Amino acid sequence: MGRKIKKQSKLIIYLLSVIIVGVLSFIGIEYGTTETVGNTMPINIAKPENLQNITIKTGSTITKDFLSETKQNLKVYFFDVGQADSILVMNEGQTMLIDAGNNEDGEILVQNLKTLGITRIDYLVGTHPHEDHIGGLDDIIKNFEIGTIYMSKVQANTKTFEDVLDTVKEKELTITAPKVKDTFTIGQAECQVLAIDNNAKSLNFASIVIQMKFDDMTYLFTGDAEKEVEEKILKETKDIKANILKVGHHGSDTSSSETFIQAVAPEISIISVGKDNSYGHPNQDIIARLETKGSKIYRTDEVGNIFIEQRKN
């Protein structure tokens, strides 16, 4: 009789476990799985809590397995370019590339984009003329068909900046300085410029900040915008809340003020940062600030490339 009761107990526990796992998967509680692609490093997959239409993949190497064939879904790639920024947005066959890392990142970014099947960049954005944001722009311009190039009118007295201007001229392209509140679309993703300063004394203050909305979710791409820029955005923008935030200035304490993070209230925060960098980025106070607000943090120095796919409702 005792053995029969034990068997029944084990069966009940097993059935309850299956039911619990099924319920958690259905409501979107975060879980992680790993897929190994050939001989490359594994791709880690997660579905974040409360964001049922979002899947996140991370990995050290960009492969075709990062690419979904569903064109109506929004895809956002945060490339691991060390202590630098580079972000690709794709929807309905259209693309936007925000920044292109350092000079030495140009070739790998070209390779990554070609691996993802990219032949044209509809909007190429250089948020501000620091080398860790525009270093690879000349390689991108040389290797792809380019639509609109957005950069501020602020200039830098560097070879990196001159190389970008020379390549733009060689390809007979032009650079556009957008205005605050200018809008444009990437497929069905609606983008609006929230900040740009063509007369900024600090290059970080010139950062082009872009808010992007797709279905019921909002993304915020901040470049290296610092607290002074954040304050201006808060004064001029009614709704700054975003589900997904590209944390400003690699997680430096010059950005991500308490007031700004309170207003943005990001559920997911992405930090593009180099491992063991000399700047001490990201600042631990900023990490604590984001975690206190309940934001899930993904860092390129810890997980490599970060791919977010939002399924269309």
- Predicted confidence (pLDDT) per residue in 161-180, tens digit: 999 999 999 999 999 999 99
Q: Would you state the structure tokens that stand for residue 130, as one six-digit string?
A: 């620091």
pTM of the model: 0.87
Residue with tokens 């691996």, as numbered in its chain: 115
What's the confidence (pLDDT) of residue 52?
Answer: 82
Q: 182 phi and psi, to 5 degrees?
A: -60, 145
Say how far apart CA 283 and CA 269 lie, in whole Å: 14
Q: Is 248 within 8 Å of 226 (Cβ atoms)?
A: yes
Whether the per-residue pLDDT at 23 is higher than 60: the answer is no
Residue with tokens 């034990």, as numbered in its chain: 6
Quick one: how far is CA 121 from the chain centroid?
A: 16
Say how far apart CA 196 and CA 64 lie, in whole Å: 35
Note the pLDDT tens digit of each residue in 215-262.
999 999 999 999 999 999 999 998 999 999 999 999 999 999 999 999
What's the confidence (pLDDT) of residue 10?
Answer: 44
Distances (CA, A) of 306 to 59, 95, 184, 265, 309: 7, 17, 24, 20, 10
- With cut-offs at 50, 70 and 90, classify the pLDDT of residue 126: very high
The overall average pLDDT reported for the chain is 89
CATH architecture for the domain at 53-310: 4-Layer Sandwich (3.60)
Domain boundaries, the chain: 53-310
- With cut-offs at 50, 70 and 90, classify the pLDDT of residue 43: confident
Instruction: Compute how many other C-beta atoms are within 10 angstroms of the C-beta atom of residue 160.
Output: 19
Q: Would you state the structure tokens that stand for residue 43, as one six-digit string?
A: 């791709």
Q: Is the peptide bond before 178 cis (omega within 30 degrees of 0)?
A: no
Q: 111 phi and psi, to 5 degrees?
A: -65, -45
Whether the per-residue pLDDT at 12 is higher than 80: the answer is no
| 3-state per-residue secondary structure call for the chain | CHHHHHHHHHHHHHHHHHHHHHHHHHHCCCCEEEECCCCCCCEEEECCCCCCCEEEEEECCCCHHHCCCCCCCEEEEECCCCCCCCEEEEECCEEEEECCCCHHHHHHHHHHHHHCCCCEEEEEEECCCCHHHHCCHHHHHHHCEEEEEEECCCCCCCHHHHHHHHHHHHCCCCEECCCCCCEEEECCEEEEEEECCCCCCCHHHHCCEEEEEECCEEEEECCCCCHHHHHHHHHHCCCCCCCEEECHHHHCCCCCCHHHHHHHCCCEEEECCCCCCCCCCCCHHHHHHHHHCCCEEEEHHHHCEEEEEECCC
Note the pLDDT tens digit of each residue in 46-95.
767 668 899 999 999 998 888 888 999 999 999 999 999 999 999 999 99
Residue with tokens 């630098």, as numbered in its chain: 84
- With cut-offs at 50, 70 and 90, classify the pLDDT of residue 41: low
End-to-end CA distance of the chain: 53
What's the confidence (pLDDT) of residue 250?
Answer: 96
Whether the per-residue pLDDT at 14 is higher than 50: the answer is no
Q: Would you state the structure tokens that stand for residue 91, as one six-digit string?
A: 């929807």
